[in-house]
Chain A
Amino acid sequence: MKRILTYGALLLWSVPMCSQVFLQIDTLEEVVINGERADHTTYDRGQTDVATTEQTAERDPQLNLVCRGAYAQEVIYRGLSGAQVATLVDGMRIYGACTDKMDPVTSYVDRSNLSVLQSDQTASIGFHALNFKLEKGEFGVERRWKSGVFSSYQINNAQRRIGANAVYESKDFWWLASASHTEANNYVAGSGQKIRYTQFTKQNLYSASGWRRGKHEFTATGIVDRAYDIGYAGLPMDVSSATAVITKLEHKTSLGKWKNLNSVYFNDVAHVMDDTKRDSVFMHMDMPGCSTTLGYHGQLQRVWNQWILDVDFELVRNRRFAEMTMYPVNEVEMYMQTWSVSVREMTTLNPTLKYFPNDRWKFEIVPAIAYYNDQVKEEFGQKQFEVLGYDLTKGTTSLSKSLALTSEYNLNKWGSAFTFAAGDRAPELSERFGFYLYNNQDGFDYMGNPLLSNEQFARINWSNGLKFEKHRVTWSKYVYFFDNYIFGVHNQVLWQMTPGGNGVKEYQNVGSAFIAGSELEVSLFEQGLVPTQITVAYRYGEGENVGYLPQMMPLEVKLFNKAKWKGFDFGLTNVYSLRYTRASQAFGEQNVPAYWMMNAAVSRKLTLKKSSLDIEIAGSNLLDNYYTTHLNWNGIPQMGRNVSLSLKWNFGAIE
């Protein structure tokens, strides 16, 4: 679990013999989210200040976004989603509180909170880990204050954003805070049609502080995030509020030659759905949910001459509850628990051993083990499952394990990395204990299955790269094999609960499946006048008893150009996607036509006496094309032409 490893990545880079390792993409890739950290920021709209966290992440060709509305898009990795990917915030496990996956954890942070996204293939839990790292201060040599205010406006959906941040850094103490407010109306699609229920309002407060005493270093972080009046165009319901409190205390020290990190964290997420804004509803419903997680993460790290060992250990307890109350006219209300009070207790142990025998080879071995204890704690929920013939009065335990082996070879201009990994993942709480969770995409109510077996996987990943002075090529090929693949299967016996629905699906281990795909990244003229980057990505997936696997992107080509001229930075992005013809019928997907989308941005930094001003004008979907992607629920169209203006006024230390 080196995903949390700040030092890990740094150390790796600081080991001189592997300075040629440019194929880090294979095991640990970083996407810079907060533009302040790097200057190659105007590649595309994803890097502009109006972009959301998720849009920034999408710059990585391995990642895609599932859209159910304009807000809270779900970041998926190589077509894997849900419990297959562990999405973490600064190493913390956070679980959404919505039974219908309307609140992926990325929606509870603001892009101003984040520094980088680490994408880690050798994660122990799930098949991949995405870690959104929080912005932190640094212990400086001298005292300094930095602060800034930022504001932006985008025309299409009248999105207004305003915020401020401040950082204080000194020798043994730092403190950082930011606040932001973002508000958007409904957007207009390329056809000129206003897409109702795409509005949202989000407020975010973030503060972090670090202090140092001898060899001990402490960090405290806290986020309060609240979004409300959020439209979900792809669903029959909206969200009246989604609130999260995220806190963490961290201690770093050294124990002899070992580096040691201990952190405890707590987060609480509350999510309330809302059908009162819809024109016609069959029946008014209240559907609140909450999810509370308490966790400990410990880490020991040691570096020998040619070896690095990290040992990660986690103890996590997640408690979830979601209920549904329906109000028929002139009748008694109806009530059920869609997630009865259910608790997962999880223990993970995840050592990573890296070996650098010489300046050409690097080897890595990551064995991991996780133990789960899942239980429905409330009698009401146990009784609900009694109806289905399950006895949930006792907990369910499961063990998941995985092993990842990587070898990397670099010689002069070229390098190659090969990873083999195999293991399994335990079913997620919702897959075990969900009760009539309506999925609007396929129109089925989903039932948990307490008897699900672990989903097994084996993965082979092979990346090759070539690096010249100004040009760079990386080509990754991968294949995943699954067994006991977990998928919703139509249960003909059960009555659907949702009026007008298609029936009930129950999660089952359906057999084998595979995903194969490839990503090509070409960078040209890196330090030249017009640096250009091309990414090409494609995935294919098929499963026994499933047909095409869902969420497998068609061939997509992205072309990024940037240029510098007289202090101006220009960026141009073109995205070409072939038509999607392999929609998973079983998942309720639709085939989608090909599309072309063009974004552009120009920015300038003005240096004033004691401050600086960043100005950026960006346009997205400049051709005003009407398009949707294979990941947009119920084919909701993407935003049409849009122009935004962002201003950022920085005070204090000027970069």
Chain B
Amino acid sequence: MKHIAILGFAVGLLSLTACKKEDPQVVTFEDVLLTHMDEIESQSIGDYTLSIYSSNELIVGYNELNFLLKDADGEFVTDYTMHAHPMMEMGMMMHTTPHGHTEMIEGEYGLYMTDYVFIMPSTAGTWSLEVTVEVDDESVVYDFVLDVIEPEEARMISFMSKTGSEEKYFAALVGAENFGVGENDFEIAIYQRESMMSFPAVTDLTVEIEPWMPTMEHGSPNNVNPVHTMNGHYAGVANFTMTGFWQLKLTIKNADGEIVEEDLAFDITL
């Protein structure tokens, strides 16, 4: 969600620079986008080129993918809809992965964003992303192969419910790349596996956190437990008093107050 703010700023910046007529160098929206993100994939089919941008390498965990469509003249296409479908192919079996809704976040340039929580790295098989674009009453299907890596410190943890219900959950940490000493807003995105093809968001959990420094055996004050905002995202505040190795410990309870998981921890090196 932070990227929307960054983009908003970028657009603002662009409109500022665009006013300067004497400036011979034309700054395009793409240029501004590229100062925050990298183009990770691009494909041309017929007249249209679809490009995917991300602010970091795709990891096992929470990712935001941004999509831009250009026509044959290199102009941004703004009146199109898209639908993307991720799939992991592992030889004998295949499954999808938890993801959010596709949203148009910058109508002027036709920029779409979708968030994905990849639950395994590309070393386990092949991550594909099939994107169907509806433009000019025409349907174009792009097929991307995504490279998803395991980050140095896990940003997604899966676990079986301890209530004995055989439910499998996936919890991803959102915003950890901006963590530092001080007050940190963050989110935990939690999904459940219904079937190999369905990983819906879980919206009725209670999440408690404790930032913990295991080496020193101390925590930090004034943390705010995450509460559900929308689409399985739980927003909270984690405080870190110093740099070094921390853990963000989680306890997750279901709507009945039963403990779903309590020994969960994200490692965080500041």
Contact = CB atoms under 8 A, between A and B. Distances in A.
B215 A384 contact: no
Interface in A256-285: 283
Interface string B21-40: 00000000000000000000
B241 A387 contact: yes
Given A387-B239, A499-B217, A334 B244 contact: yes
Interface string B155-188: 0000000000000000000000000111100000
B215 A331 contact: yes
Contacts of A335: 242-244
B183 A386 contact: yes
A497 B215 CA distance: 11
Interface stretch (B73-81, B122-130, B189-197, B219-227): B219-227
A158 to B, nearest CB: 40
A332 B217 contact: no
Interface residues of B, number: 21
Contacts, number: 67
A494 interface: yes
Contacts of B216: 326, 334, 497, 499
A333 B183 CA distance: 20
Contacts of A496: 218
B245 interface: yes
A328 B245 CA distance: 10
B31 to A, nearest CB: 29
Nearest to B243: A335
B240 interface: yes
A384 B221 contact: no
B269 interface: yes
B240 to A, nearest CB: 7
B234 to A, nearest CB: 21
Interface in A486-513: 493-497, 499
B242 A495 contact: no
Interface string A329-360: 00111111000000000000000000000000
Nearest to A329: B215
Contacts of B180: 383
Contact of B182 (A332, A333, A387, A494): A387
Nearest to A499: B216
Contact of B218 (A380, A383, A495): A495
Contacts of B215: 283, 328, 331, 334
A335 B241 CA distance: 9
A388 interface: yes
Nearest to A380: B181
A245 to B, nearest CB: 31
Contacts of A336: 181, 241-243
A333 B244 contact: yes
B269 A332 contact: yes
Given A383-B182, A497-B218, 5 more contacts: A336-B243, A384-B241, A387-B183, A388-B222, A497-B216
Top 5 nearest A-B pairs by Cβ distance? A383-B182, A334-B244, A336-B242, A495-B218, A387-B239
